[in-house]
Structure 1
């Protein structure tokens, strides 16, 4: 394994950052290559834990000559967001200066040529240079896995429609409960930016059985434990073996995905009609019928007549919920995976800000 440090000048003097990149060189130039990054939102750590346990497995495979394709690992993809704290609380989702989500506004390139992207010391804002560097690292690879987590959640993956059928093997390897299938997110998340050049190619040239681009949601923010990290690392390793990046005859993968494949249009985002205290009646993994109680928002404590109870607009499975128990009007509370399109008007782009 080789370690590379990419240095970026700060937006003002004295605020430089470094991006640590781990590289494993494959022995077969024709083999599938892979890029994995975590913590693009700074404090989302389940993916970072998975990579922490995956890297020793890759070192062992490297020592035994079993790494066939090039592998690039970026365990802490966002040094800017990792260092954003206020009043003892970590805030790594949005850049403080612009309030832009770190996983939005990536360049959408027409092909795999990254020469037009700004370099680490270009005269543009640091966040733009960091995003450009991550794209420059990722795009040469056939497989791109962006490891995230939700708030309170089951394990699931976001996959572009064109990739879904050939990427069920990833969901199987990771024991994902669901695949959320998207056709366009319109806000240029990292996954979309990495899929975009592929989707501009003629279908006959895409070779989708070789390619994989996705956002992995490894459960919730507090699901950071050694056993979970090791299990997720084993899942990533199984996938890399299955795709021919690593050779390991002892690893086998089931062929049937038993979870849900749900278009984003079928995801019910349950939002708070008013602010107040939240009392949940369900948790991730629950299967509910239409009309079932999901959550009660207490608007005037001590006066139950002011309570607002939200019910399931259709039957489905609870995928996620917010950990906050005190919310503002319009806040997201739950994701429910339904079998039919939601009747609620969707905000443009991805499900959440």
Structure 2
């Protein structure tokens, strides 16, 4: 294993950020190359735990000559966000300086312009320099996994429909409960990677990308950080590496993905019409019918008509749920994966900021 560090100069005197990068050299030049990062949202740690155990397993495989394809791992992809706290609480999703989501505003460039991403880095603020260097590393691989988590959540993934159904092996290996097929209209990391490949010939869009993969993996919820889950996820990612020929393990057998794979338009986002205390009647993993009572919001405790009931707009699987119990007006409460499109209007791009 080769360990290096990328130094990102800070924007104020006396500060700099260190980004450790772990690399395992493959023995087969024809094998796929993979890039995996975690912690782009610095307060989302299940992926960091997974990669800690995966690196241990890869070191053993390296000693046995069992690594076929090049593997690059960035276990903590956002040292800037990891240092941001507000009144003692980590603020790892949004940059406090620019108020921008750390997983937005990645450059949308063609793969032919990859080298330009790391030219003149001193001209960019630290957060933009970080994003450009992460994207540059990712575009040196064939397969790119960005490990995140949701609030309270089942295991699922976001990926561009250009990679489906080829990516069903990853969904099966990691025992995902659902796959959400995006329309590739945002500047999130995994979509910026896909954009670079789709527009390899600038101005000409490819609709299918065989042998490629860029995916956001949601490893359950923020509090699902423990050794048993991390090791189980490690086993799943190892299965994927073996099935794609990146590591050699003849004991691995393919599995079938049994969950739904739906476009983002088929996700119902349940929002609070008013602020108050939320009382959930269902949890993640429940299948609900149209009209089922999902939650009660207590808006004026103890008063007549002091609560609001929320029903399911259609049949579906509850994929995520907020961990907040005091919610704000228009705050997201649940995501429900459905067989039919939602009637709610949605702009192309990501589901949330």
Is TM (by shorter chain) over 0.5? yes
Aligned CA distance change for structure 1 residues 54 and 156 (closer, same or farther; 3 Å): same
User: Normalized against structure 2, the TM-score is what?
Assistant: 0.96
Indicate conservation of the 8 Å contact 1:32/1:244, yes or no: yes
The answer to whether structure 1 residue 77 and structure 2 residue 77 are counterparts is yes
The residue number in structure 1 matching 2:21 is: 21
Q: Deviations over 1:124-178 (max 9, x none)?
A: 1110000001011110100100000000000001111111110000000000000
Residue ranges of structure 1 left out of the alignment (5+ in a row): none
The residue number in structure 1 matching 2:327 is: 327
Shift of 1:118: 4.0
Aligned CA distance change for structure 1 residues 204 and 334 (closer, same or farther; 3 Å): closer
Shift of 1:348: 4.9
CA–CA distance in structure 1, aligned partners of residues 199 and 259 of structure 2: 29
- Secondary structure at the aligned position of 1:157 is classed as strand
Matches within 5 A, 1:155-170: 155-170=155-170
CA–CA distance in structure 2, aligned partners of residues 267 and 238 of structure 1: 29
The answer to whether structure 1 residue 42 and structure 2 residue 48 are counterparts is no
CA–CA distance in structure 2, aligned partners of residues 224 and 121 of structure 1: 35
Indicate conservation of the 8 Å contact 1:7/1:120, yes or no: no
CA–CA distance in structure 1, aligned partners of residues 304 and 158 of structure 2: 39
The residue number in structure 1 matching 2:194 is: 195
Q: CA RMSD in A?
A: 1.7
The residue number in structure 2 matching 1:236 is: 237
- Secondary structure at the aligned position of 2:176 is classed as coil
User: Normalized against structure 1, the TM-score is what?
Assistant: 0.96
CA–CA distance in structure 1, aligned partners of residues 351 and 248 of structure 2: 37
CA–CA distance in structure 2, aligned partners of residues 322 and 116 of structure 1: 40
CA–CA distance in structure 1, aligned partners of residues 108 and 211 of structure 2: 21
The answer to whether structure 1 residue 317 and structure 2 residue 326 are counterparts is no
Aligned CA distance change for structure 1 residues 163 and 304 (closer, same or farther; 3 Å): farther
Q: Deviations over 1:180-223 (max 9, x none)?
A: 00112x33000001111222247999984421110000000000
Q: Indicate the larger mover: 318-327 or 198-207.
A: 198-207
The residue number in structure 1 matching 2:102 is: 102
Shift of 1:123: 2.1
Shift of 1:16: 0.5
CA–CA distance in structure 1, aligned partners of residues 71 and 208 of structure 2: 19
CA–CA distance in structure 2, aligned partners of residues 278 and 205 of structure 1: 45
Q: Deviations over 1:33-55 (max 9, x none)?
A: 10000000001011111101100
Shift of 1:76: 0.2
Q: Indicate the larger mover: 144-153 or 294-303.
A: 294-303
- Secondary structure at the aligned position of 1:41 is classed as coil
CA–CA distance in structure 2, aligned partners of residues 280 and 165 of structure 1: 34
Indicate conservation of the 8 Å contact 1:173/1:239, yes or no: yes
Equivalent pairs, count: 351
The residue number in structure 2 matching 1:221 is: 222
- Secondary structure at the aligned position of 2:36 is classed as strand
Matches within 5 A, 1:264-279: 264-279=264-279
Q: Deviations over 1:75-97 (max 9, x none)?
A: 00000111111111111000001
CA–CA distance in structure 1, aligned partners of residues 55 and 120 of structure 2: 26
Matches within 5 A, 1:246-265: 246-254=247-255, 256-265=256-265
Indicate conservation of the 8 Å contact 2:183/2:349, yes or no: no
CA–CA distance in structure 1, aligned partners of residues 324 and 34 of structure 2: 36
Shift of 1:349: 2.5
CA–CA distance in structure 1, aligned partners of residues 63 and 189 of structure 2: 32
